[in-house]
Structure 1
Amino acid sequence: MQRAATRARDWLLNVAAPLWAGRGRTASGLFAERMTLSGVPDATYFRTFVQARHIFSFIEAGKIGWTGPWRALVGETVDTLLTKARRADGFFVHRLTGDAAHLDGRADLYDQAFILLALAKAGEALDRPTLFDEAERLLDLLQAEWAHPLGGFTEGELVDPSVRRQNPHMHLFEAFIALAEASKRQRFMDAAVTIGMLCKAHFIDSETGALLEYFKDDWTPADGLAGRIVEPGHCLEWAWLFETLALFGWADSPGISDHLTHFARSTGICARRRVTINEVLTDGTTHNGNARLWPQTERTKAAVARYRRLGSEEEASEAAAAAAGLDLYLDVVMPGLWRDKLTPEGGWIDELAPGSSLYHISCAYGELARIAL
């Protein structure tokens, strides 16, 4: 695990951060949305949640030692989002142009969750507590306009309202924990615990310990196949978050993490490719054998967090194996970029490198770097 941590830190600080700090950066203060594998930025659109993720990524790089201008970059992008990406009603829009004008003005819960996460991280890193006030205002709006009477939130204006999903709630959970830790405001910890309780009560299949993805309005599983789909990467991401919540004393967290981790590891790792796959069903059979980049980062994060709690050789070995799986995706012609989708046959889908993945990588590499210090 120590060797993996050293490689991770070097890649993030000396390869990825310098590339993404400059290439494709707009005069309006936005980071690149995506690049070709030869490093040419694509300026077709800029999603607000990707900008929020870049804020997170550069703060992570700064925390573990990047000496580049991360504070200036982060501060400029935060201010651009606050002044240009917000609607008159207070919600943040879905997409911007390169000039930071509204390109898709619809509001989505997933986007708002990442804005909250960016405000948490930037408020702490830049010593700007007014950003926590901005987060409170956005939470006020979510609770007033999108709170669901049966728990959680509706998802806004982008997705099918007849299907409820755990995923945006997971990222709210992440944001609320980060806001509680950074601001020390009890309101955010209360919000995090509420989402944790929602997950425990409704998202986790009681028979298998698997995390379900899709639900009806009352949080019962969706009908048919959709109600049996499990993403091992999300099991591990929730496990990591519950490990984090355990540090604040929530007694249920370790047991939930144990169940989620066991299901994901026993059903969701391809022995031949040594990577975490996209989807299985609750009976453990493979539903989608492709393997995206991000589940490899969640496998890494969960193992590191569990190593922090358990100190076991099993978790250290799992963290190293997960990091080795992630390395496959970073083996590209231009260092600092990545592949995103590995097929069941072991080939790569040809597409641009999505900037959204830097958040996943930087979070996993930040966890590895800190455990190795």
Structure 2
Amino acid sequence: MSRTLPPNPLTDAQTDGAPLPLVAVRDRFSDWLFQKALPFWATTGCDGTPHELALLGAQEHLTLEGEPALPPFKRVRVQARQLFAFSWAALQGWEEGVSRAHGIFRFLLHAHREDGGWARTLTREGAVKDATADLYDIAFVVFALAWYGRLEGSGRAEKLARDTLGWVQQHMATPNGGFLNWLPDDGAPRQQNPHMHLLEAALALYGTTHHEADLALAHTLYELLRTRFLDPVTGTLGEFFTKDWHPVPGEAGQWVEPGHHFEWVWLLGEYQRLTGVETSEPALRLASFATRFGLEPETGRVRDVLTRDGSVLRGGSRLWVQGEALRGILSRDRQDSRGIAVRLAENLLDHYFTGCPVGTWVDQLDAAGAPAVTKIPTSSLYHIITAFDALDLAAKQATKPVLPKL
């Protein structure tokens, strides 16, 4: 059964007979997500027999025609993201998500190593293809388990998530703070990105369990942002670091991504909401840089890669960057007083969710706004859902009646 959304109380939030912009774009986004995207990814986007879809997890990616590409591997991060997607959808009342989440969870368990870590990739049938423990992938496993635990309810998923975080802290921690990118370590530059998603995972786990102990890692990762990742002079978020957490030499040390700035802005808001720790100062610095230099005034799109002085290093605009900008902007300005979030959402609907098979997306536009894609990546659904969730919350708050003062 497809989810039928309840009517929105637009009569309480209209201007001259028209719904508020946040509400109007939320309604368009909701229709696309629940009536087109989720049904597509629950069928074509799941692998297995017609009677047991998700028996073999989620498809890795699709062709531009919207057909399964069937590469000889499945990344664990993709399976984890889709486990989150269907768990979230099921918790919203979209019933098809329940069976898909259960199926992907069972398939994902093939990646759980005997020592408590998780493999990086599986074959299409579920055998381990690459047993490397990848911090980025593991962060998404924990994140997905936290959300699946809210759906499944037995406590098994939460315990597995907590045990996984313990394994990471025991086996992947480094003397200078933070964690290895992967194990075995190949000496590559340290990266902030997997740490960001590890914080997201820790916050999601606490949101499920409400156990204070599950926030311990979140506190550590917040300090890592303040003392290592965030440049105190430029207010920029570094991507690549030496072992002692200095920016690497050359272009990689100057490489900054507005999408990650906005992602951290949202995370800092969530961290403050859950812990009471004041994060406004770093959040403001990150948001200011990303908005000033990353946002294209003419198109309303957000650029992919800049340097620390704001110069454009890569002028295209990935879909995920727009989604993270949407929720980052709304975390700072819930009412969208400047209309930036509405424009970002409209861009997604009008330029990324069109010109492709119904329910799918164009994952990247080049600097001129033309599609620059060779496939439809399954992994983008995670960013789409988190962006919608932030938009939905803002729209609901916009329509919340204001009680008179007594």
Q: Structure 1 length as normaliser, TM-score? A: 0.94
Confirm or deny: 8 A CA contact 1:147 1:154 kept in the other structure: yes
Superposition deviation, residue 62 in structure 1 = 2.7
Question: SS in structure 2 opposite 1:199?
Answer: helix
Aligned Cα RMSD in Å? 1.6
Is 1:278 aligned to 2:299, yes or no? no
- Asked whether the equivalents of residues 172 and 180 of structure 2 are also in contact (C-alpha less than 8 Å), the reply is yes
Residue matched to 1:324 = 346
The whole-number CA distance in structure 2 between the counterparts of 1:350 and 1:294 is 14
The one-letter code of the counterpart of 2:354 is D
Return the alpha-carbon distance in structure 2 between the equivalents of residues 254 and 322 of structure 1: 23
Q: Deviations over 1:164-218 (max 9, x none)?
A: 0000000000000000111112222111111011001110111121111111111
What are the Cα deviations for residues 209-264 of structure 1, in whole angstroms up to 9, with x where unaligned?
11111111111111122111110000000000001111124433122211111100
| Structure 1 residue aligned with 2:28 | 7
Corresponding residue for 2:221?
Answer: 195
Cα contact 2:306–2:313 (8 A) shared by 1: yes
Q: State whether structure 2 residue 136 is matched by structure 1 residue 79.
A: no
State whether residues 120 and 131 of structure 2, in contact with CA within 8 Å, keep that contact through their aligned partners in structure 1.
yes
Q: Where does residue 265 of structure 2 map in the other structure?
A: 239
Residue 19 of structure 1: aligned partner:
40
Matched AA of 2:103: E
Confirm whether residue 268 of structure 1 aligns to residue 294 of structure 2: yes
Q: Distance in 1 between matches of 2:245 and 2:293?
A: 24
Structure 2: unaligned runs, 5 residues or longer? 1-21, 49-54, 397-406
**Alpha-carbon distance in structure 1 between the residues aligned to 2:377 and 2:128:** 21
Greater Cα shift, 54-63 or 93-102: 54-63
Shift of 1:114: 0.5
| Residues 295, 312 of structure 1: alpha-carbon distance in 2 compared, 3 angstrom cutoff | closer
Distance 1:312 1:23, change over 3 A: closer
1:113 pairs with one of 133, 139, 142? 139
User: Is 1:41 the equivalent of 2:68?
Assistant: yes
Equivalent residues of 2:149, 2:155 under 8 A apart: yes
- Report the equivalent of 1:69: 96
Instruction: Report the AA paired with residue 86 of structure 2.
Output: F
Partner of residue 360, structure 2: 337
CA offset digits 1:323-354 (Å, max 9, x no partner): 12222111124111111121112221131100
* Alpha carbons 2:190, 2:240 under 8 Å: kept: yes
Report the secondary structure of 1:42's partner residue: coil
Superposition TM-score, scaled by structure 2 size: 0.87
For residues 174 and 313 of structure 1, do their structure 2 counterparts lie closer, same or farther at Cα, with a shift above 3 Å needed? same
Map 1:79-98 → 2, pairs under 5 A: 79-82=106-109, 84-98=110-124
When residues 151 and 205 of structure 1 are mapped into structure 2, their CA distance, relative to the original with a 3 A threshold, is same
Q: Which one of the candidate residues 136, 141, 145 is aligned to 2:167?
A: 141
* Counterpart contact for 2:330–2:336, Cα < 8 Å: no
The verdict on how the C-alpha distance between 1:240 and 1:90 changes in structure 2, with shifts beyond 3 A counting, is same
Identity of aligned residues (%): 34
Name the residue aligned to 1:59.
Answer: 87
Q: Distance in 2 between matches of 1:63 and 1:266?
A: 36
Where does structure 1 lack aligned partners over 5 or more consecutive residues? none
